[in-house]
Amino acid sequence: MPRFSAHIDYLFKERPLIERIDAAAAAGFTAIEGRFPDGVAAADYRRAAMRNNLKVLGINTPQGREGEFGLGALPGRQDEWRASFAQTLDYVEAVNGLAIHCLAGMVGAGQRCEAEAVFVDNLKRAADQAAAKNIKLYIEPINQRSVPNYFLYQVEHAADIIAKVGSDNVFMQYDFFHVQIVGGDIIERFRTYQPLIAHIQCSQVPVRHEPNEDGEINYPYVFAEIDRLGYPFWVGCEYIPSTPRTEDSLGWIRSYGVVPRQ
């Protein structure tokens, strides 16, 4: 049976961030993930996770300036990337996190070749630094309909980047929402690249609501299939609840053992 984590920048947003951690635990989740938690001290984040006995999975690198959506592949911004990555690495270590999602950023068509070289070089350096602290790195293909000009949007390109980095500490974060929009064939592509995939995220297409049966993706089949294929890691619930109160959107997950704590 899949193990589900709560993405606290999507779920429980009706509360302040620290209260989202408490709410995730109360709803029955045993792990959380999210973006870089600007304005929340690592000690407070860790304390909230520990008191709820929650694992902290991935945290994103900062998004940079408004409209950039990351710095990892931006030519000429390497110094800023290194500083932001160091900040994220320190934070993830402080909260006992397991991984960092390295946001590539938005790149114009004429910069893609240079951007790839920058991204590969940045990841090589970062992979060694993270490995020394037993923290994994993730890269994620993100569709360009949701994030126009995002550098990394194809699963196949992500696999090629990982090969070029040449580290056993860089993995793919495989979000069914993005993969469905960019080409579909989500199970066959998952099967092909499963050795590189260390984390999954899910939401329904096209509305990005909860992963039930009200959309393009047949999630009961998908979850059964990744189980059959022996996927051993977490599935992140990165969806926009269709209800004002997040708890009211969680009916779909009860059959997978995520039930409110008593």
Q: What is the pLDDT of residues 90-123, one digit of tens each?
A: 999 999 999 999 999 999 999 999 999 999 999 9
Tell me 114's DSSP state.
H
Q: Is the model's pLDDT at 59 over the cut of 90? A: yes
| Dihedral sign (CA 28, 30, 35, 36) | positive
Q: Is the model's pLDDT at 140 over the cut of 90? A: yes
The pairing of strands 3-7 and 31-34 is parallel
Q: Output the pLDDT for position 161.
A: 98
Q: Output the pLDDT for position 209.
A: 97
Q: Cα–Cα distances in Å, from 57 out to 4, 34, 149, 162, 197?
A: 11, 8, 27, 20, 14
Q: Cα–Cα distances in Å, from 246 out to 8, 13, 21, 63, 150?
A: 11, 8, 13, 25, 29
Which residue out of 33, 116, 140, 210 is catalytically annotated? 140
Q: Taking the complete model, does pTM exceed 0.75, yes or no?
A: yes
Which residue out of 33, 116, 210, 238 is catalytically annotated? 238
Q: Is the model's pLDDT at 15 over the cut of 90? A: yes
d(CA 245, CA 222): 26
d(CA 83, CA 88): 9
Q: Is the model's pLDDT at 32 over the cut of 90? A: yes
Catalytic, 188? Answer: no
Structure tokens given for 177:
């929402």
Q: Output the pLDDT for position 125.
A: 97
Q: What is the mean pLDDT of the chain?
A: 97
With contact defined as beta carbons under 8 Å apart, do 17 and 42 qualify?
Answer: no
Average pLDDT over residues 35-47: 96
Tell how far CA 67 is from the center of its chain: 19
Q: Output the pLDDT for position 213.
A: 84
Domains of the chain: 3-256 (3.20.20.150)
DSSP string, 216-227: SS-HHHHHHHHH
DSSP string, 59-112: EEPP--STTT-BSTT-TT-HHHHHHHHHHHHHHHHHTTEEEEE--B-B--GGGH
Q: How many alpha carbons fall within 13 Å on the CB side of residue 217? A: 29
Catalytic, 19? Answer: no
Tell how far CA 130 is from the center of its chain: 17
pLDDT category at 214 given cuts 50, 70, 90 is confident
d(CA 135, CA 155): 22
DSSP string, 157-223: HHHHHHHHHT-TTEEEEEEHHHHHHTT--HHHHHHHHGGGEEEEEE--TTT---SSSSSSS-HHHHH
